């Protein structure tokens, strides 16, 4: 098979699996997950083949795999859709395929496949556990998810959206994949729709990302109206970029390129949960944990960053390496750096194991966005990929921890213990060794533990780029954010795994089945190993031992190959200090903390996420509710529209009853209707006596009539 | 040759006698007889007009023969009805057979 046709096929298996499960295999749980995992495997296989073939092509950036078909006739021309695999796509496809496959496999264990059905489980609620009797005594074990097949159908559709987005060669199909994921995130966050909090979180996620999507769609429409094409390769031609960069729009002094890039970027702000549209992501933790990993690591939020990376030539149109940033770039850099720091401060004070990770995701995405804003293209891609691996690992790890804790909860039967609260854990390293070591790897990668982990190399590259190119504000902000990242990660690890068990439930926690631990181990290989492909050439001692393949490969995506960064000791030292310092401090502060009361950082403003939910409640939601309930419903609808109707209603009623009373009833009914009937009846009644039944009388009568008629005819006609 | 008018007057007289019989006789069979008289008055007219008109065409005679046939059929049905009525109602008086009314 040619590579091009193989690329077309990559997104297909998951969507086929979706329809197959929904339509046919719904009832059979084993078949459903086999179909879904099989489909993920096929996509993975296709992605790997394409990746390997992409590696073998020289100058892939200039001669990418591409293939397109005519889609919509637009006057003389066609709107084309198609697939494109250039170095960027190949690199992204690699991590998407891996993480998606791992998450699919993990979901089997997470949803308790092979366990009995629950005693009183309901669809739309998490499983509560089942009682089994063994050797005469009863014990409670986890029960299988009631909507098991449905889950696999949804994540299949989700994977389809992501693969579609990644292999697209144009903004239109990218947007289609983007929106499919929006829908799936809604469905999956609200997967346990029996919980009001899950329902609200689903709606919140959908509405918040929708705000970004509207701007993105405006950006796409604007781009199409200016250039007449949505294909990446055509937009990024020298000529079009130059035109776009030189056309002023009059909006904040941006060029057309800048304005379009900013509009598209706002879509990313929604999708990748950047400030000020970050509020949905922490609440999205209401979904099952594999979904959190899917949304927050492998696919959706990465898609947001991927879109900006794709649009990088547009964002940076009119800018060249070393020059002052364009207004659009400054905006992007500001949002990214601010979000990185802002989310990190919130993560410090969260007690829910998944929420810490959620805020760290927002923060890490801020790193990537900031990197793009200062033009550090390769560093952003590198961090996107390493982050996808270690964040998927961390999320799946946290899911494993929660699963283990739920074991403990089922054992003691005390359902008041929140299995996600880190203060209820402690000492889990002995109970769940595999989860502990893999989580440690993921956490160290997230913190940027020097030399060994992937996170170090990618984060260091961003910091180095910011420093060398003189963006000191961004550099300082990100350095502080990185320090806090290391700090809260170590806080999380310390509270969860180290020390002694703080509750009975934690004492009875159990290691999770192999379907969950194997994906963790595979992902931790990438969380460490993926960093080694991007070690800078001029790094002391080990630089150059392994060629900087990543820079060479992904850098080839752009027409102009980004120059290799000069080595500078300051950012390296900063990286080392913030990572080790943060980790050390996190351990030192939290090694003896046993309850939230002893935690000095439970500051209200941080715990309450800088009150953003409350502010939005007052500034947007309340006015919107007032607008809909009072202004539109009460005043406009019930007052004005209904008021008009209340005039017209009685008026037509009056006219109608007047016509009825003075015309219809007396004239039509009484006179015409009843009158003719009465007349006919009267005539009939009075003519009745002449029908005697005697034939001879009839004959006489007809003879008389004959003579009369004959006489009259004779008199009038002949005489 | 006897003029046409004689035949016509004769036929008219016969028709009137028949009509009178139909209108005034009480017995149903007598009424049928009256009907026969009227039919035959018509036949006389037909034959007379044929004889004094275009004698070569056979239309008048044929018409008369058809009327005979119809009259015979009618009488047979009529008599059958009269017998049937007599069996059921034990009368053939026309005035007493006044079932067909409101």
A709: distance to nearest CA of chain B, Å?
A: 19
User: Quick check: A80 and A66 in contact, CB under 8 A?
Assistant: no
Question: How much is the average pLDDT of A586-609?
Answer: 79
* Alpha carbons within 13 A on the beta-carbon side of A111: 24
Tell me the β-bridge partners of A68.
A82
Query: For position A80, what pLDDT does the model report?
Result: 85
Q: Do residue B23 and residue A688 have CB atoms under 8 angstroms apart?
A: no
Segment A188-204, tens digit of pLDDT: 998 999 889 999 999 99
A73 Cβ under 8 Å from any chain B Cβ: no
Comparing A209 with A609, which gets the higher pLDDT?
A209
Query: For position A297, what pLDDT does the model report?
Result: 66
The DSSP call for residue A251 is S
Average pLDDT over all residues of chain A: 86
Paired tokens of A419: 């299995």
> By CA distance, what is A701's nearest residue in B?
B23
d(CA A75, CA A72): 9
Q: Indicate the residue of A691, A699, A700 with minimum beta-carbon distance to B101.
A: A691
Question: How much is the average pLDDT of B69-96?
Answer: 91
CB-based contacts of A59: which residues, under 8 Å, 6+ apart?
A556
Query: For position B80, what pLDDT does the model report?
Result: 94
Confidence tier at A595 by pLDDT (50, 70, 90): confident
Q: Do residue B94 and residue A688 have CB atoms under 8 angstroms apart?
A: no
Judged against a pLDDT cut of 90, whether residue B39 lies above it is answered with yes
Q: Do residue B23 and residue A691 have CB atoms under 8 angstroms apart?
A: no
Q: Indicate the residue of B22, B24, B100 with minimum beta-carbon distance to A693.
A: B100
Question: How much is the average pLDDT of A283-303?
Answer: 81
Confidence tier at A377 by pLDDT (50, 70, 90): confident
Q: How many CB atoms lie within 10 A of CB B71?
A: 18
d(CA B102, CA B99): 9
In A272-318, which residue ranges form alpha helices assigned H by DSSP?
280-283, 289-293, 300-310, 312-315
Rg (CA), chain B: 17
d(CA A65, CA A46): 14
In A316-450, which residue ranges form alpha helices assigned H by DSSP?
327-347, 353-373, 377-412, 428-431, 433-447
Confidence tier at A298 by pLDDT (50, 70, 90): low
User: Quick check: A395 and A293 in contact, CB under 8 A?
Assistant: yes
Question: How much is the average pLDDT of A27-56?
Answer: 91
d(CA A543, CA A537): 5
User: Quick check: A100 and A40 in contact, CB under 8 A?
Assistant: yes
Q: Do residue B24 and residue A688 have CB atoms under 8 angstroms apart?
A: no
Judged against a pLDDT cut of 80, whether residue A322 lies above it is answered with no
Selected for mutation to probe chain B from A687, A695, A699 (highest B CB count within 10 Å) is: A695
Q: How many CB atoms lie within 10 A of CB A20?
A: 20
A656: distance to nearest CA of chain B, Å?
A: 44
SS (H, E, C) chain B: CCCHHHHHHHHHHHHHHHHHHHHHCCEHHHHHHHHHHHHHHHHHHHHHHHHHCCCCCCHHHHHHHHHHHHHHHHHHHHHHHHHHHHHHHCCCEHHHCCCCCC
Q: Tell me whether residue B100 is in a domain.
A: no
Structural domain boundaries, residue B14: 4-94
Instruction: Give the residue from A586, A402, A417, A556 showing the smallest Cα distance to A493.
Output: A586
* Alpha carbons within 13 A on the beta-carbon side of A551: 20
Instruction: Give me the residues of A, 643-702, that contact B with CB < 8 A.
Output: 688, 691-696, 699-700
Query: For position B84, what pLDDT does the model report?
Result: 92
B81 Cβ under 8 Å from any chain A Cβ: no
Q: Is the dihedral of CA A109, A115, A120, A124 positive or negative?
A: positive
d(CA B67, CA B39): 7
Question: How much is the average pLDDT of B52-58?
Answer: 78
Q: Do residue B23 and residue A699 have CB atoms under 8 angstroms apart?
A: yes
B101 Cβ under 8 Å from any chain A Cβ: yes
Judged against a pLDDT cut of 80, whether residue A87 lies above it is answered with yes
> By CA distance, what is B99's nearest residue in A?
A693
d(CA A391, CA A524): 10
Taking each helix axis from N to C terminus, what angle separates A196-227 and A256-271, rounded to the nearest 10 degrees?
A: 160
Q: Tell me whether residue B9 is in a domain.
A: yes
Judged against a pLDDT cut of 70, whether residue A95 lies above it is answered with yes
Query: For position A543, what pLDDT does the model report?
Result: 67
Instruction: Give the residue from A272, A219, A240, A223 showing the smallest Cα distance to A380.
Output: A272
Question: How much is the average pLDDT of A371-375?
Answer: 88
Query: For position A680, what pLDDT does the model report?
Result: 94
Q: How many CB atoms lie within 10 A of CB A428?
A: 27
Query: For position A651, what pLDDT does the model report?
Result: 93
Instruction: Give the residue from A96, A89, A127 showing the smallest Cα distance to A111.
Output: A127
Cα first-last separation, chain A: 110
**Torsion angle in degrees (nearest 10) through CA of A473, A474, A480, A485:** 170
Beta strands in B14-89 (DSSP E): none
pTM of the model: 0.77
Segment A124-134, tens digit of pLDDT: 888 877 888 77
| Domain spans in chain A, listed from the N-terminal domain onward | 386-603, 615-689
Judged against a pLDDT cut of 70, whether residue A69 lies above it is answered with yes
Tell me the β-bridge partners of A77.
A74
Total domains in chain B come to 1
User: Quick check: A276 and A212 in contact, CB under 8 A?
Assistant: no
d(CA A198, CA A200): 5
d(CA A327, CA A252): 9
Q: Indicate the residue of B22, B99, B102 with minimum beta-carbon distance to A688.
A: B102
User: Which stretch of DSSP H or E encloses residue A218?
Assistant: helix A196-227
d(CA A574, CA A387): 20
Paired tokens of A505: 């439930």
User: Quick check: A81 and A173 in contact, CB under 8 A?
Assistant: yes
Segment A540-562, tens digit of pLDDT: 777 667 777 787 788 777 767 77
B96: distance to nearest CA of chain A, Å?
A: 8
Q: Do residue A694 and residue B31 have CB atoms under 8 angstroms apart?
A: no
Paired tokens of A633: 């419903």
Judged against a pLDDT cut of 90, whether residue A420 lies above it is answered with no
Confidence tier at A539 by pLDDT (50, 70, 90): confident
d(CA A673, CA A160): 71
Judged against a pLDDT cut of 90, whether residue A574 lies above it is answered with no
Question: How much is the average pLDDT of A144-156?
Answer: 89
User: Quick check: B25 and B37 in contact, CB under 8 A?
Assistant: no
Paired tokens of A6: 């193989």
CATH number reported for the structural domain that contains residue B19 in this entry: 1.10.287.3510
């Amino acid at each position: 098979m040619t590579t091009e046709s193989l690329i077309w096929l990559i997104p297909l298996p998951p969507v086929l699996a979706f329809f197959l499960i929904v339509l046919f295999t719904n009832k059979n749980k084993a078949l459903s997950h086999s179909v879904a995992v099989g489909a993920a495997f096929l996509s993975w296989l296709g992605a790997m083949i394409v990746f390997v073939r992409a590696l073998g092509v020289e100058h892939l950036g200039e001669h990418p795999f591409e293939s397109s078909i005519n889609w919509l006739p637009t006057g003389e021309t066609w709107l084309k859709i198609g697939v494109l695999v250039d170095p960027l796509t190949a690199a992204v496809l690699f991590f998407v395929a891996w993480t998606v496959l791992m998450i699919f496999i993990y979901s089997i264990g997470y949803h308790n496949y092979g366990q009995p059905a629950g005693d009183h489980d309901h669809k739309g609620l998490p499983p509560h556990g089942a009682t089994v009797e063994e050797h005469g005594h009863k014990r409670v074990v986890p029960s299988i998810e009631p909507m098991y097949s449905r889950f696999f159908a949804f994540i299949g559709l989700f994977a389809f959206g992501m693969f579609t987005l990644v292999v697209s060669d144009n903004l239109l199909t990218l947007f289609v994949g983007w929106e499919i994921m929006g829908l799936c995130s809604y469905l999956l966050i609200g997967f346990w729709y029996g919980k009001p909090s899950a329902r609200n979180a689903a709606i919140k996620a959908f509405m918040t990302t929708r705000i970004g999507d509207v701007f993105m769609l405006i950006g796409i429409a604007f781009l199409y109206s200016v250039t007449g094409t949505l294909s990446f390769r055509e937009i990024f031609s020298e000529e079009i970029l130059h035109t776009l960069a030189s056309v002023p729009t009059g909006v904040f002094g941006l060029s057309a390129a800048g304005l379009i890039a900013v509009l598209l970027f706002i879509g990313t702000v929604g999708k990748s949960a950047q400030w000020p549209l970050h509020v949905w992501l922490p609440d999205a933790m209401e979904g099952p944990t594999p979904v959190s990993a899917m949304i927050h690591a492998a696919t959706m939020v990465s898609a947001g960053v991927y879109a900006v990376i794709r649009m990088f030539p547009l964002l940076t149109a009119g800018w060249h390496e070393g020059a002052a940033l364009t207004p659009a770039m400054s905006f992007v850099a500001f949002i990214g750096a601010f979000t990185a720091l802002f989310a990190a401060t919130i993560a410090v004070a969260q007690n829910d194991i998944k929420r810490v990770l959620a805020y760290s995701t927002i923060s890490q995405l801020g790193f990537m966005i900031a990197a793009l804003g200062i033009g550090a293209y390769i560093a952003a891609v590198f961090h996107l990929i390493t982050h996808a691996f270690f964040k998927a690992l961390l999320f799946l790890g946290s899911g494993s921890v929660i699963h283990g804790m739920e074991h403990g909860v089922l054992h003691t039967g005390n359902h008041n213990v929140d299995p996600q609260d880190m203060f209820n854990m402690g000492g889990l390293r002995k109970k769940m060794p595999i989860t502990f070591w893999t989580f440690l790897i993921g956490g160290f990668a997230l913190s940027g533990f020097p030399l060994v982990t992937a996170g170090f190399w990618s984060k260091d590259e961003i910091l180095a780029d910011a420093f060398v190119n003189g963006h000191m504000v961004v550099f300082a902000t990100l350095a502080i954010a990185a320090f806090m990242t290391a700090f809260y990660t170590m806080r999380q690890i310390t509270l969860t795994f180290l020390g002694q068990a703080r509750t009975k439930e934690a004492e009875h926690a159990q290691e999770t089945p192999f379907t969950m631990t194997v994906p963790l181990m595979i992902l931790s290989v990438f969380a460490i190993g993926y960093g080694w492909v991007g070690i800078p050439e001029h790094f002391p001692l080990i630089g150059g031992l392994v060629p900087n393949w990543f820079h060479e490969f992904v850098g080839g995506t752009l027409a102009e190959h980004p120059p290799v960064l000069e080595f500078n000791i300051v950012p390296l030292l900063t990286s080392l200090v913030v990572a080790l310092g943060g980790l050390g401090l996190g351990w030192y502060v939290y090694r003896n903390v046993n309850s939230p009361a002893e935690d000095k950082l439970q500051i209200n403003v941080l715990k309450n996420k800088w009150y953003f939910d409350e502010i939005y409640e007052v500034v947007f939601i309340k006015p919107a509710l007032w607008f809909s309930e009072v202004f539109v419903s009460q005043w406009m609808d019930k007052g004005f529209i209904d008021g008009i109707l209340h005039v017209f209603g009685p008026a037509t009623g009056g006219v109608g009853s007047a016509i009825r009373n003075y015309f219809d009833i007396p004239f039509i009914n009484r006179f015409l209707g009843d009158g003719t009937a009465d007349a006919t009846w009267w005539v009939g009644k009075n003519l009745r006596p002449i029908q005697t039944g005697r034939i001879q009388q009839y004959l006489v009568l007809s003879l008389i009539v004959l003579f009369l008629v004959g006489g009259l005819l004779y008199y009038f006609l002949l005489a | 040759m006897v003029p046409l008018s004689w035949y016509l007057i004769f036929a008219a007289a016969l028709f009137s006698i028949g009509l009178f019989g139909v209108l005034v006789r009480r017995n149903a069979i007598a009424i049928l007889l009256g009907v026969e008289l009227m039919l035959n008055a018509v036949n006389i007219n037909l034959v007379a007009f044929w004889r004094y008109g275009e004698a070569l065409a056979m239309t008048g005679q044929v018409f008369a023969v058809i009327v005979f046939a119809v009259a015979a059929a009618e009488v047979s049905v009529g008599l059958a009805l009269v017998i049937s009525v007599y069996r059921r109602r034990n009368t053939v008086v026309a005035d007493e057979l006044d079932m067909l009314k409101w």
